[in-house]
Amino acid sequence: MSELEALFLQTLTSQLRALDQFGTWAKKSDEELLCEKYVKSKEDLKNIPIIADIDEMQIQDIRLIFQSIALAFELKTGVMCSVVMEMSHEGFGRAVVLAEKIVVTNKFFKDAHRYSFRTYDDLVKEGGKMLHSALEIFEQYHLKVG
Amino acid sequence: MSELEALFLQTLTSQLRALDQFGTWAKKSDEELLCEKYVKSKEDLKNIPIIADIDEMQIQDIRLIFQSIALAFELKTGVMCSVVMEMSHEGFGRAVVLAEKIVVTNKFFKDAHRYSFRTYDDLVKEGGKMLHSALEIFEQYHLKVG
C-alpha cells in the first residue's frame, strides 16, 4: 500500500468512526466497516435498481470519501480544502474538492445510489489515485501562480 | 452601465424568461421582473424571519444568478463554465462557478432565504462585479499555466 493510499484510508476510517455515536461499530475492524459501507459485489449490484432514489445516509457516505480526500490533502500540503457536493434525489450529481482557487478533484454521478467498489482493494486504490491526482493538479497550478 | 453589467443582465433575464412556460411574465419589463425576484427593501426584509426554511423556488432563483455569471463568462471567454451549489434547507450553503480547474466565483450563504438586493442598481452592480472578478481570477491562473 502506498503512502497516499494509507493516508486516505486513515482519514476515511477516522471520519467514519467519528460518526459512530453509539459504538455500534466498535467491534468491527476498519476493513469490515469500510467493506460494509463501500464495497458491493456484482451480485449485490444486480439487486439494486438502475433507477432509484438515493437516501441521505448514502449521500453522507459518498460525501465522506471526498472529505477524506480533502482532509488527506490538507495533511499532506497544509492547504485548507473544502468539498462542495450537489446531489439530486435521483442520484445525479457532482462532487468537487477545492483547494484555494483550484478544483483538485471533480466527480460526476449518474447513479450515485449504486456508487461502490467491487473490492476493498479497489476502494483503497481509487482513494490513493484521487489523492495523487489532486496533489498533481494543485502543484501544476499553484507553482506557477503562487 | 458597463459592458459586463449589461452582459450579466442579459444572461440573467434570458434565463429567467426561459422559465416562464405559461407566459405569466410576458407583460412585465425586464426590470420589473428582476425587481420582483431579487430586490427587497429594508422594509421587506423586516418581514422575513432571520431563521426560516428556504424553498426550492428560492434556491432556483439564487442558482440563476450564478448560472448567469457562468453563461456570461462563457460568452466573454469561450471557456465552458459550470455551477455547483449546495444548500441546506435552513439556507446555509455555498455556490461556486468553475471554469476549467479554476474556481472563478465563490459565495457562501448563511441566510439564503433573505438573499436579495436593496435596489435594482445594486443587483446590476453586484453581477458586474462578480463577473469582473471571475474574469480576473481566471486570467491570473490561466495565463501562467496554459
DSSP-assigned letter for residue B112: G
Task: Please check the confidence at residue B28 and state whether its pLDDT lies above 90.
Answer: yes
CB atoms within 10 A of CB A81: 23
Q: Which of A94, A101, A140 shows the shortest C-beta gap to B103?
A: A101
Contact B141 A98 (CB under 8 A): no
CB B100 within 8 Å of CB B131 = no
Determine the pLDDT at residue A145. 56
Among B80, B97, B98, B101, the strongest candidate for a mutation testing the A interface, having the largest count of A CBs within 10 A, is: B101
CA of B47 vs chain A CAs: smallest distance (Å): 30
The residues near B74 (Cβ < 8 Å, ≥ 6 apart) are B80, B81
Determine the pLDDT at residue B102. 94
Determine the pLDDT at residue A89. 86
Mean pLDDT, range B2-22, rounded to an integer = 94
Instruction: For chain B, give the percent of residues with pLDDT over 90.
Output: 75
Mean pLDDT of chain A: 92
Which helix (H) or strand (E) segment holds residue B8: the answer is: helix B3-18
Three-state SS at A103: strand
Task: Please check the confidence at residue B85 and state whether its pLDDT lies above 70.
Answer: yes
CA of B88 vs chain A CAs: smallest distance (Å): 11
Residue with cell 435552513: B90
Identity of residue A95: A
CB B61 within 8 Å of CB B38 = yes
Identify which has the larger pLDDT, A48 or A6: A6
Among all residues of chain B, which has the CA nearest to that of A108? B84
CB atoms within 10 A of CB B16: 19
Numbered residues of chain A with Cβ closer than 8 Å to any chain B Cβ? 84-86, 94, 96, 98, 101-104, 106, 137, 140-141, 144-145
List Cα–Cα distances, A58 to A9, A61, A62, A86, B23, in angstroms: 19, 5, 6, 13, 40
Residues of B in contact with A145 (CB under 8 A): 140-141, 144-145
Mean pLDDT of chain B: 92
Residues of B in contact with A137 (CB under 8 A): 101
Mean pLDDT, range B2-28, rounded to an integer = 93
Among all residues of chain B, which has the CA nearest to that of A86? B86
Distance of CA A131 to the CA centre of its chain: 10
CB A131 within 8 Å of CB A4 = yes
Q: Which of A101, A106, A140 shows the shortest C-beta gap to B137?
A: A101
Among A79, A80, A98, A143, the strongest candidate for a mutation testing the B interface, having the largest count of B CBs within 10 A, is: A98
Model confidence pLDDT, tens digit, residues B88-104: 888 899 999 999 999 99
Among all residues of chain A, which has the CA nearest to that of B82? A94
Among all residues of chain A, which has the CA nearest to that of B142? A141
Runs of H (alpha helix) within A1-146: 3-18, 30-38, 42-46, 56-77, 120-145
Q: What does the block give as the cell for B126?
A: 453586484
Adjacency order of strands within the sheet including A102-109: A81-87, A93-99, A102-109, B102-109, B93-99, B81-87
Three-state SS at A102: strand
Determine the pLDDT at residue B126. 97
Q: Which of A37-41, A88-92, A127-131, B10-14 has the lowest mean pLDDT?
A: A88-92
Residues of A in contact with B94 (CB under 8 A): 84
Q: Please, what's the b/e burial string for B112-135 (b: 16 or more CB within 10 A of its CB; e: otherwise)?
A: bbbbbbeebeebbbebbebbeebb
Kindly report the length of chain B.
146
CB atoms within 10 A of CB A94: 17
Identify which has the larger pLDDT, A146 or A58: A58
Determine the pLDDT at residue B53. 85
A141: left (phi over 0), alpha (psi -120 to 50) or beta: alpha
Query: Partners of A9 in the beta sheet?
Result: none
Instruction: For chain B, give the percent of residues with pLDDT over 70.
Output: 97
pLDDT tier, B144 (very low <50, low <70, confident <90, very high otherwise)? low
Domains of chain B: 3-20+28-141 (1.10.3100.20)
Reported as half-sphere exposure (CB side, CA atoms, 13 A), residue B52 has a value of 12
Determine the pLDDT at residue B20. 86
Q: Which of A85, A98, A137 shows the shortest C-beta gap to B103?
A: A98
Model confidence pLDDT, tens digit, residues A48-104: 888 888 888 899 999 999 999 999 999 999 999 999 999 988 889 999 999 999 999
Under 8 Å CB pairs connecting chains A and B tally to 44
Model confidence pLDDT, tens digit, residues B60-80: 999 999 999 999 999 999 999
